[in-house]
Amino acid sequence: MTMLINKYVSSAAFALAFSLSLAGCSRRTSPAPAASVRAARGDFSVYDVGGGWRDQTGAVRTLDGLRGTPTVIALMYAHCSSSCPIALATMKRIAATAPGVHFVLVSLDPRRDSPGALAAYASEHGLSSDRWTLLSGQDADVRALAAVLGVRYRWISSDDVAHANALTLVDATGAIVRRQAGFDGTDETIRAARDLTAAAAEAAPRIHDSLNGISQ
Amino acid sequence: MFTALLTITMLATNAATPTGMVRIPAGSYRPLFATSGAPARVAAFAIDREPVTRGEFLRFVRVNPTWRKSAIKRVFAERSYLSDWRGDLDAGDDSALAQPVNNVSWFAARAYCDAKGQRLPTTDEWEYVAAADEKRRNATSDPAFISRLIAIYTSHRGGFRNVYGVDDLHGQTWELTEDFNSVVVADDSRGTGSGVDARDHGLYCAGAALGATDPSNYPAFLRSAVRAGLTGRSATSHVGFRCAL
């Protein structure tokens, strides 16, 4: 058995290494792990990862505080000039067509992206604070959140971070509903986001009641 | 005067290195996927002499119940977490307790090190130490060393104590690093370019990082591939960790 596992691990690593060696710089959208995401829903919340954060107003924020609204989460940084503007444009398109969805942008460069820098970025791009939360945190917390979202990143110069252009759509509890890797598949993300807000609207009175129950 | 200073420095260094850890001097090494020709600098640090054992991890979950296999939040580990344990606090007999802990997730490994006031080593730190054999700090240009590592990875036997005094970096387990998710693969490109030639994209495309600096260092390539296959919650056999400081 152990031998088999060894073989499996070794051959899996070999296959991975091989695919890495063939990999170019494509726009391939990786298939979302739909089955595993479904299986994990209910007791899986990206917000459980925790950490200490500040938003663009300088206010201290927790990830738990983001619960309650379907949300699109992305990692980026303000001075990223290559693909981040396209990622932002994609999110704005989702924002325009799926009202009720919230957006959280987490900085991969918290040293430069102070709350003030994020506020300037939000203002420059017309991101209103009622729908857009821009977060800056410690490196360790950013890495943890990136790990949960499956976003790989690496500093490739003093200015630039190579990172995945991944958008993650979570429901009100923080369960991952859809992960969009790259810029293809935005229509499906919009559909999924609208489904979530529609479901939330139906369930709203019930959630409201239960929240009242908790607060009493 | 000089001797006195030196003695004080040595005492300070010794005092800063906890029992069971080995002090690693600063140096440089050439990352497998260097983006420029320059080697990476690694500052002095300390690393566990041995991988964390099941017994040590058992003591951690005893005092940190949220990391027990029945209690851990799903975001921090998949269901195979500690799957080779019979229960929350039953990690096996004495010989099992002496084995490196496996089936731990990156989140759990981090929490373990954090609880000791330590951290996971960075990939650069780990690879820097792992370049050594018994006598040389960097043995990676020696084909015999490369062949030996491949034999170890294939059999999961034959670990050794390297020149720094660190045991079994190459042995039973692949080891987790803090920035394991810095292995950037093809579809993580920041660019939207054609992808015809990764190198053309230079800084703007992570794919450029795929130009390995030393294609003959197959073991380093394998380790990189293993890291690329992990998520923060993966809990896999033959994946363990050690802490750094």
Distance CA A72, CA A119 (A): 19
Beta sheet of A166-170, edge-to-edge order: A60-61, A53-54, A132-137, A102-107, A71-76, A166-170, A176-181
Grade residue B98 by pLDDT with cuts at 50, 70 and 90.
Answer: very high
What is the token pair recorded at B106?
């990156």
From the CB of residue B230, how many other CB atoms can be counted at a distance below 10 Å?
20
Domain encompassing residue B20:
2-240
From the CB of residue B114, how many other CB atoms can be counted at a distance below 10 Å?
14
Distance CA A192, CA A208 (A): 23
Mean predicted confidence (pLDDT) in A197-212: 65
> What is residue B36's predicted lDDT score, i.e. its pLDDT?
60
Do A190 and A67 meet the contact criterion of CB atoms below 8 Å apart?
no
Q: Report the SS3 class of residue A104.
A: strand
Q: Report the SS3 class of residue B42.
A: strand
Q: A156 versus A186: which is more confidently predicted? A: A186
Grade residue A182 by pLDDT with cuts at 50, 70 and 90.
Answer: confident
Please give, rounded to a whole number of angstroms, the shortest distance from the CA of A128 to a CA of chain B.
25
Assess A160–B contact: CB distance below 8 Å, yes or no. Answer: yes
Distances (CA, A) of A95 to A69, A73, A173, B11: 13, 12, 19, 60
> What is residue B34's predicted lDDT score, i.e. its pLDDT?
61
B204 with A160: Cβ contact below 8 A: yes
A-B contacts at Cβ under 8 angstroms: 168
B186 with A165: Cβ contact below 8 A: no
Domain-located, residue B14: yes
Domain-located, residue B119: yes
Query: Which of residues 184 through 243 in chain B touch A, CB cutoff 8 A?
Result: 184-198, 201, 203-210, 218, 221-222, 224-226, 228-229, 231-233, 236-238
Continuous segment of H or E residues that includes residue A129:
none
Closest by CA position to B29, among listed B121, B167, B106: B121
Pairing of strands B174-175, B239-240: parallel
**Of the partner residues B156, B203, B226, the one whose CB lies closest to the CB of residue A13:** B226
Assess A162–B contact: CB distance below 8 Å, yes or no. Answer: yes
**Domain ranges across chain A:** 33-215
Domain-located, residue B207: yes
> What is residue B180's predicted lDDT score, i.e. its pLDDT?
87
CATH class of A33-215: alpha beta
Distance CA B178, CA B107 (A): 9
Do B40 and B29 meet the contact criterion of CB atoms below 8 Å apart?
yes
Going through A58-175 in order, the beta strands assigned E by DSSP cover: 60-61, 71-76, 102-107, 132-137, 153-155, 161-163, 166-170
Q: Which of A9, A21, A25 to mutate to test the interface with B (most CBs of B within 10 A)?
A: A25
Domain-located, residue B245: no
Closest by CA position to A33, among listed A150, A162, A117: A150
A152 with B210: Cβ contact below 8 A: no
Question: What is the domain count for chain B?
Answer: 1
Most distant CA atoms of chain B, gap in Å: 64
**The model's pTM:** 0.77
Is residue A167 over pLDDT 60?
Answer: yes
Domain-located, residue B101: yes
> What is residue A200's predicted lDDT score, i.e. its pLDDT?
77
B222 with A14: Cβ contact below 8 A: yes
> What is residue A15's predicted lDDT score, i.e. its pLDDT?
41
* Interface predicted TM-score (ipTM) of this complex, two decimals: 0.73
**Per-residue b or e along A16-27, where b marks 16 or more CB atoms closer than 10 Å to that residue's CB:** bbeebeebbbbb
Tens-place pLDDT, residues A1-10: 333 334 334 4
Lowest mean pLDDT among A24-38, A102-116, A160-174, B99-113: A24-38
Region for residue A51 given its phi and psi (left: phi exceeds 0; alpha: psi -120 to 50; beta: otherwise): left
Mean predicted confidence (pLDDT) in A139-168: 85
In chain B, alpha helices (H): 2-16, 54-63, 94-97, 106-115, 123-130, 143-155, 218-228
> What is residue A204's predicted lDDT score, i.e. its pLDDT?
62
Which amino acid would we find at residue B152? I
> What is residue B120's predicted lDDT score, i.e. its pLDDT?
97
Is residue B181 over pLDDT 90?
Answer: no
Distance CA A145, CA B107 (A): 11
Closest by CA position to A75, among listed A25, A144, A6: A144
Q: B123 versus B229: which is more confidently predicted? A: B123
A25 with B183: Cβ contact below 8 A: no
Grade residue B96 by pLDDT with cuts at 50, 70 and 90.
Answer: very high
Grade residue A142 by pLDDT with cuts at 50, 70 and 90.
Answer: very high
Task: Sort out which chain B residues have CB atoms less than 8 A from A147's CB and list them.
Answer: 106-107, 181, 231-233
